[in-house]
Structure 1
Amino acid sequence: MRQVKHLLDSKGHQVFSIAEDATVLDAIKHMAERQVGALLVMRGEQLVGMVSERDYARKVILQGRSSAQTSVAEIMSSPALTVGPDTEVEYCMRLCTDSRIRHLPVVHDSRVIGVISIGDLVKAVIEEQAEQIDHLEQYIAGR
């Protein structure tokens, strides 16, 4: 079974983050510019939470709050669930499904080294299943 480190090797280790004292408006602009649905919330090098479009919709818009006057710290999900580079993809899928989250920070030695999304996980599972099907077809065909 594939591990998180294999996903990061192919997709890269790029991380998008924002400070906890930034405004929600800044966070939404940052997400839009980078075409992502969530940002890590960092205090220096320390991961303190995550903020997503879902947090914005449910904790700002639906509550009638001002995105220009609300800080990221007020709406972020904290603590963020994390995984390590050796975590198996199947476990990550279960974690995302059970926790109803779409993004997982990858942490190694207390340092964020990447982020994987539910889309990354689904893609990895589909690729692995296609490989297994190919091997079985070759076996059946006697190749």
Structure 2
Amino acid sequence: MRIADVLRSKGSDVATVDPSVTVAELISQLATHNVGALPVVDEGQLVGIVSERDVVRRLDVAGPGLLEASVGDIMITGVTTCAPGDSVADIAAVMTNRRFRHLPVVVEGQLAGIVSIGDLVKARIDLLESEREQLQSYIAAG
């Protein structure tokens, strides 16, 4: 199973945030889109990623003033990405080993989607369920 299969099932629409947006606005966007992280895009280019976890960790240090800071001040840069042709198993291993919960999907330098560890777990469970049904059908027919 490939990342493209996950995106086909999930969809490739991606909410993004501009690095100039305030952290308060970011929190609102995370809630509105019901997501835990947003890719940060500036002039069409992926420049970072920011998550609820990033906000909480920096809020502990900076206090309430953080809400007026920009996303660019707290985002993670040097983002690890994946491609639609990558294996779900390989990307799940990368996400587990590097402790990522979200990974942008990039095609020819352009953001094409985002996958979460939950998306990958669901894909693996769906695959196992399909294989189980096929085996049961095979056994029943035999």
Task: Give the TM bin, normalised by the shorter chain.
Answer: over 0.9
What letter matches 1:131 in structure 2? S
2:97 & 2:41 partners in 1: Cα distance? Answer: 25
- For each residue in 1:54-110, what CA deviation from the matched residue of structure 2 results, as whole angstroms up to 9, or x when unmatched? 000111x21033233211111111111110010111011111101111111100011
TM-score (norm 1): 0.92
Q: Which residue of 2 aligns with 1:68?
A: 67
Identity of aligned residues (%): 38
What letter matches 1:77 in structure 2? I
TM-score (norm 2): 0.93
What letter matches 1:37 in structure 2? G
- SS at structure 2 position matched to 1:49: strand
- Name the stretch that deviates more: 77-86 or 132-141: 132-141
Query: How far does residue 27 in structure 1 lie from its aligned partner after superposition?
Result: 0.7
What letter matches 1:64 in structure 2? A
Matched, 1:43 2:42: yes
2:13 & 2:68 partners in 1: Cα distance? Answer: 29
CA RMSD after TM alignment: 1.3
Matched, 1:135 2:95: no
What letter matches 2:50 in structure 1? V
- Kindly tell me the number of residue pairs found equivalent between the two proteins: 141
Show structure 1 runs of 5+ residues with no match.
none
As a proportion of its length, which structure holds more helix? 2
Q: Which residue of 1 aligns with 2:55?
A: 56
Stretches (4+) displaced over 4 A: none
1:106 & 1:64 partners in 2: Cα distance? Answer: 31
Query: How far does residue 136 in structure 1 lie from its aligned partner after superposition?
Result: 2.5
Query: How far does residue 34 in structure 1 lie from its aligned partner after superposition?
Result: 1.2
Matched, 1:89 2:88: yes
Q: Which residue of 1 aligns with 2:76?
A: 77
Show structure 2 runs of 5+ residues with no match.
none
